[in-house]
Every structure is written in structure tokens, then in C-alpha cells.
Chains A and B, each alone.
Chain A
Amino acid sequence: MKDDKSSKGNPDRRKFMKLGLMTGITGLSGATLLSNLASQEELQASGNKIKLLTPDGKVVEVDAENINKYPEAHITPAESREGIPNRKFVMVIDLAKCNNARKCVEGCQRGHQLDPHEEFMKVQLIRDNEEGAPYWFPKPCFHCDEPPCVTVCPTGATFKRDDGIVLVDNDRCIGCKFCMTSCPYSARSFNWGHKDKFENTDQPYSPETSVPASEGTVMKCDFCPDLLRQGELPYCAKECPMGVIYFGDKNEDLVTNGVETLRFSQLIKDRGGYRYMEHLGTKPNVYYLPPVNRQFPLERGFDIDEEILDRYKDVPEVKEYKAKAKK
């Protein structure tokens, strides 16, 4: 069936063989991994699985954790205080495009292994004034340049890095919760429960990857530094089906939502980008594009769990909608 003769005497043969060998090794290590994965009983059920299909038509569920295992990229607590060199991360959220699909929330929860009610990214329904129309408002941590949370931390457990990210070192946090009271954006949450949520202890602790927070400590949106180190977008930006969330490096002046890449400065200039509650002087690194010329009616976002819709029950539009739904 195959004819190998033409490759004989080819000067590239050795190189080719090398390449083939390498792919073979990858394949081999993959096979062992699979056999490990297949013995599911030895695996802890973390609830975060991804589904794969094997060539023999079997569905294998693989721990999402195993997918995101980059042992070679372990970042120590000391390194995680430095940040990624020469970067200054910035997020732009286009309110005109958000229809509360909640994929950012879900993606973030999956990526960080959060419980259903733990949300680093929250979608609020905001109405600026009585006449104003409500709009969906995805709210991550703003990673402020003057972070009040970092200022008040008595142990330096939360810190601001050179790349602009405000991170929490859960091995340092004493759980005084002062940072939570000083954050004007309610971006932080606390692990009130008793069990350590981050159970993967076979890797050394790293503030960049070891979320959710261990018992009695504080956690929040971290701009996914582990993904950024691999040149990938944070979970929320990656998952958004509407391309609402742009993310990038301000030093490069580029932001991307995974589909298009734009000049950050141009985008802010053209679309009237603003920062939420600028008057507080916290200098956030998350910018919003105002909800003008909206692409979806507000009601598009009502197609969610009853329980989640209930969050917005004080907003008149939601009240009306619920009343109608009852009839």
C-alpha cells in the first residue's frame, strides 16, 4: 500500500525520522496518560471533567485539572509577586454587546473550579437612573492601579504586580477581611466553609493557579495569569460568545476578544470608553464601553435559571417579565 522507496537516500530522512520519533513519544506518553485517566476510580471526582472520544468510540471523561497541568510552568509565590515582565494588562468590556449569556461566569467557574455560587465574574443588572434603561454589567476584579485592598492588607497577602494584576497569596492571607471591606466594587469573596477547596496538593502552592482559596482566606478574579503566561485569553474573554470582553496588554496597545484585535487607545477613544466610578480614584484597569446602540434587547438576558433571574427582581423590567411569565 505504501511506497517508501522515494524517500530512500533523501537527505532529510534523518530529520524526518527524528520528527517521527518525537511524535511517537508524544503519542506514547499520551497513551499512558489515557490509561491513567481511564482508571477513573483512582481519580478524585472534582466535578470538572471534559469529555473526549477515543477512536474505539468510547467516551472518556478527563479531569479538567489534568488538561491544565503545566508542571514545567510552576510559578512560585515569589515569582508570582513579580508578574509577567513588561506587560500591563487591561480589559475592555463592551456593554453594548452583553446579553447575559453568563458564559463568562461559567467558564471562569469551570476554570477556577468554583462552586456554583462562587463568582469571580458577576453579571449585574445596572440602572444608572430612573429614566435610564437597565443594562447587563459584567463585573470582574478591576485590578486597580491604586488598589485600596492592597493598601490595607496587614500581611502583604494581596499585592499588585508589575503587570498590573492584583493577586492574593492564600498561603499568606490571615483572613482578616479588611480587603473585602475596603474594596468599593465588592470584587472579593471569602471561603467561609471549613474544607480546603483547593485540593490538588500534588503540586506546590502557587498564587497564580491554586484557586479557589483555602479555608478562611480571601479570593477573587485574578485575570488568569496562568493562561496569560501561555499566551491565552482569560476564561471569561475566551468563553464569551458575543465577544464582549476584550483583553490585552496596554504596553502593546492591543486588546482582543478572541475574534478581532483592536488598538486599545483607539477603541477607548472611538467608543467613549470609561472606568466605573472613576471618582473613587482607584484607577481601575477594566474599561467599559457604554451600552449604546445595543445589539440585543435586555430581555434576551432573562433566559436563565429562575434562581439567577431572581437576583434582579428589584429591577422593574424583570418584575414585569416575571409577572408576565406567571400569567
Chain B
Amino acid sequence: MKLLLKKHLVFLLVLSGLLITSSIKGQEEADMSQYRVRFGFTVTKQPDNSRVFKAEFYASNRKNRRERTPIYEAEIQFLNILEDQEIALGTAKTNKEGIAEVTLPGNYKYLKDAEGFMNFRAYFVGTDALDEESEDLRIRDLQFQLDLVEVDSVQTITVSAYTKDSLGIDIPVSDAYVVLSVEGMLSRMVIEEDLVDAGELQVEFPKGLPGDKDGNITVFALIEDDDTFGNVVAKQTIDWGTPQAQRIPVENMLWSEVAPFWMYVVLTILLVGVWANYAYTIVNLLKIKKDGKKMAMESDD
């Protein structure tokens, strides 16, 4: 396969060498041997139970690993697989960050195998230049709940995680790693991370966190990259934060748009004083002129 790719590449390089004289200047053939193509696939169950299927597709430079080149406009298919059944969940093209995403509503019925697992696949057909890519995930549906209650006047975060067996009976989960965080404008701050024990995790809510103007604050519980559950997110908003003081309107400062009051007063006094004097002078000059006119007329007489 690799050999084939190389052959293709050589051919393409020659071809592009011939074509380079024509107008397609901006598009040059990439030397794919320099790159290692990466294909990642995650499924996230969101707080509203909808699922996000996300594929990340990029090429990393072999020499400089930090140099990432996203693969753009690649069509990714997302599939739900059960034995020989393949159900298309949707297709999406990668964006400029190399990410393709499809979201399915919470009540979508996926195919499950006998053990209750769902098989998902992200699939890229492949082109002359790029290999076919495929990633599979085997995930179990997790009932993941976040409760914020005061227990003995202690603000407590309770996470419960359980699965349902084929009969619909809750089975508590014991080894899922949960990250609890509060939401900020730019990021989430981790409060606690721990394993769920017998389907439950209890953590005291930290004191003194600022909320919005009503004290509202959003708490997140996250399971990430779990072998059994994939990504699961739960969130809850509650008024446990310190209410943010309402912004006091800016006083008249030196740097504000409107100056301190006394500056207007002083400036006005100075200007009125000076310009009144000018006006007085000009009025008097005109009086001199008038007198002179009278005198000139008298002397003419």
C-alpha cells in the first residue's frame, strides 16, 4: 500500500511539475512522505442527551511534530454498526481546523449489541493521495446525572452514573473517572476529579466563587475518553456563586469621557473672564469710533 502511494506521489509530482507553469500557483502537491496522517474519532454525549460525533483529521510533520496541517474539505462518514448492518448517521466535511462534526438528537435510537454496546465508526473513503481512514468506537450508554443540593447546609455536588441493563434496571458504575468543573468565560476551572464509587461521587462545592449578577454559576461533570463510555457531559446551573456587584457607573475621572466637574467650572470662569474683557475692549473701541465720527462731522460743519 505504502509503495503504491509512493508511486502515485512520484507520478503526481511529475505531473504537477508539468502543470506548474500554468495558473494554479497556490496549489502545490504535498510531499506526503513528510507527513504522518492522524485521524481521531470521539463521541460525546451532551447534557441534553444528544450525541456529537466528531472526527479530527490532520497531518503532522514527521520532522516537526508540533507542526500540524489540518486536512480540509475531507468528507467523513459516521456510521452505526451492528454485525453486518451499517447505518449512516451522517456525513460532514472537515473545516479549516480539520474537524468534521455531526450531532444527533437525544432520542435517536442506535443499534446495540447483545451486551448493550453501540459500535460507531468514522470513515474516510480515501483519495489518490490519502489513504482510507477508519476509526471505531465501542461505547455503552451511560446515564449520567449531576445534582446540586444542600446536604446538612453544605452545598454539595452529587454525580450519579449508572447503566441500564436489557431489562431497564439501573446498574451503578464504579470505575469512571469524573472531572467536576465550573464554567468561566474562557475556560472551565476544575474543582475535583475522582472515580465514581458505586455509581456516585459527592463533592463539596467550593466557597466564595463569584457567579453572575444573580449568583448563578454553571457546574460541569465530565467523563472523557473513557474506554466504556466515550465522552459524557452533564451540566447544571445554580445560584451558589457570590452575586456580582452591579457595575457602578464610571464617575467623572481624568480618563473618562466626561471630565471632573470642577474642570468645567474653572475653564468656563477663565474663558468667560478673558473673552468678556475682549468684548468690553471691542465695544469701547467702537465707542471711540462713534465719537470720532461725530467729531469729524462737527468739524466738517
Contacts and interface: CB of A to CB of B under 8 A. Distances in A.
Contacts of B299: none
A7 interface: yes
Contacts, number: 188
Interface string A52-76: 1111111111100001000000000
A23 B92 contact: yes
Contact of A41 (B23, B35, B86): B23
A67 B105 contact: no
B90 interface: yes
Given A26-B93, A67-B96, A59 B255 contact: no
Given A19-B104, A30-B95, A38-B24, A59 B185 contact: no
B90 A23 contact: yes
B255 A146 contact: yes
Nearest to A67: B96
B190 A252 contact: no
Contacts of B63: none
Interface in B28-65: 28-30, 32, 35, 58-59
B254 A151 contact: yes
Interface centre among A7, A57, A151, A261 (most CB of B within 10 A): A57
B70 A53 contact: yes
B127 to A, nearest CB: 5
B88 interface: yes
Interface string B103-116: 11101110100000
Contacts of B102: 19-20, 23
A151 B255 contact: yes
Nearest to A10: B109
A55 B129 contact: yes
Interface stretch (B71-79, B151-159, B193-201): B71-79
Nearest to B249: A162
A199 interface: no
Interface in B193-234: 209-210, 212-213
B273 interface: no
B85 interface: yes
A270 interface: no
A109 interface: no
Interface of B: 9, 12, 23-30, 32, 35, 58-59, 69-75, 79, 84-93, 95-96, 101-105, 107-109, 111, 124, 127-130, 181, 184-190, 209-210, 212-213, 244, 247, 250, 253-257
10 contacts: A10-B108, A20-B91, A26-B93, A41-B26, A53-B72, A57-B32, A67-B96, A253-B209, A254-B185, A254-B189
Given A56-B127, A57-B127, 16 more contacts: A3-B86, A3-B87, A19-B104, A23-B101, A27-B92, A41-B25, A51-B69, A52-B72, A55-B124, A55-B130, A57-B129, A228-B186, A231-B185, A251-B210, A254-B186, A261-B189
